[in-house]
Structure 1
Amino acid sequence: ADHAGKTVLLNLWATWCAPCRAEMPALDALQKEKGSDSFEVVAVNVDAGDDVKPKKFLSDTGVATLGYYRDSTMTLFNDLKKRGLALGLPVTMLIDGEGCLIAHMNGPAEWSGPDARRLVETALKPESL
């Protein structure tokens, strides 16, 4: 509900997931470049336990633009898994401002590259979808 009307790139990650760790700086760069009133990268940590390890990881890797979101119960991941949208981590979904799933992928991606920028730009222009 906090993101209603906003296109969201939702990413689930964990500190123990090597591909997740590798793509976090790119997600941070995408948020820094494209983040606005109409677009946000929402990276949700799914580590069990407290906030210490995930926050230390974000600090150590220089991730500063992303908001801090957690689901230590893995409820979100398990729900996506039941729906066939998540096979493992990382998992990323592009959701439009009306809450509709536009695209999803399992595995890492270069989120700060030109293909990711084009994907976001296209998603922000509903008439082009």
Structure 2
Amino acid sequence: MLDKKPSATRRIPLVIATVAVGGLAAFAALYGLGLSRAPSGDPTCKPAVATAQKIAPLAHGELAALTMATAPLKLPDLTFEDADGKPKKLSDFRGKTLLVNLWATWCVPCRKEMPALDELQGKLSGPNFEVVAINIDTRDAEKPRTFLKEANLTRLSYFSDQKAKVFQDLKAIGRALGMPTSVLVDPQGCEIATIAGPAEWASEDALKLLRAATGKAAASF
């Protein structure tokens, strides 16, 4: 009578196949290969995604590099200091749409971008909008102040973080890959859009998009 049990040699591929399938299932469970869904994000940020969709057709010309939010994302409650050295937090600005910008004097594109940010602040700042430009120079605390003064950039409020933690906090969520970095934030502290690199923030393209983001003007697509 023939022995129908698989030989040891034949059992080895079966064991390997079983391990391989099990490993693939574990990998899929961890990385979401159709077996699990990623978290949907903070539900309070769904309106920010809707705003991003609304203004997306306006992200062209000078703002063509703007990346719109496609999933709800609440930003960390970034901490920094004002011009008097008093602590500030991103949540202190709740109720306003913000353009949060990280800059440093050692960053040439940042210095070139600052006049446009200063002009933007002069044109749109008010109860519904503000530019929050945070300097992250870590060595000479007076250098950025001197730069702003010599360039006659007086409309921007001065904010700083000499530990550059704001950059690390945004980097940790994939929103700061280099300098300058700007994040358009809705009144609840949620991401609307992000851009890596400088932009002409005082251009007509930028003004039209930002007015639409704050709901102050109807977007004509």
TM-score by length of 1: 0.94
SS at match of 1:84: coil
SS at match of 1:73: coil
**CA apart distance, 1:81:** 1.1
**CA apart distance, 1:49:** 2.6
Letter in 1 for 2:129: F
Q: Which residue of 1 aligns with 2:150?
A: 60
Letter in 2 for 1:91: T
In structure 1, what is the Cα distance between the partners aligned to 2:139 and 2:92? 25
More strand by share: 1
More helix by share: 2
In structure 1, what is the Cα distance between the partners aligned to 2:170 and 2:155? 26
Larger Cα-atom Rg: 2
Q: Which residue of 1 aligns with 2:103?
A: 13
Provide Cα deviations, 1:78-107, integer angstroms capped at 9, x if missing partner.
111121111110000000111111000100
Q: CA RMSD in A?
A: 1.5
Letter in 2 for 1:11: N
Q: 1:42-121 counterparts in 2 under 5 A?
A: 42-121=132-211
SS at match of 2:122: helix
Q: Which residue of 2 aligns with 1:2?
A: 92
In structure 2, what is the Cα distance between the partners aligned to 1:6 and 1:50? 31
**CA apart distance, 1:118:** 1.2
SS at match of 1:49: coil
Q: What residue ranges of structure 2 are gaps of 5+ in the alignment? A: 1-90
**CA apart distance, 1:62:** 1.0
**CA apart distance, 1:50:** 4.3
Letter in 2 for 1:8: L
Provide Cα deviations, 1:8-66, integer angstroms capped at 9, x if missing partner.
00000000000000000000000000001110001000000342101000001111000
Q: What residue ranges of structure 1 are gaps of 5+ in the alignment? A: none
Q: Which residue of 2 aligns with 1:22?
A: 112
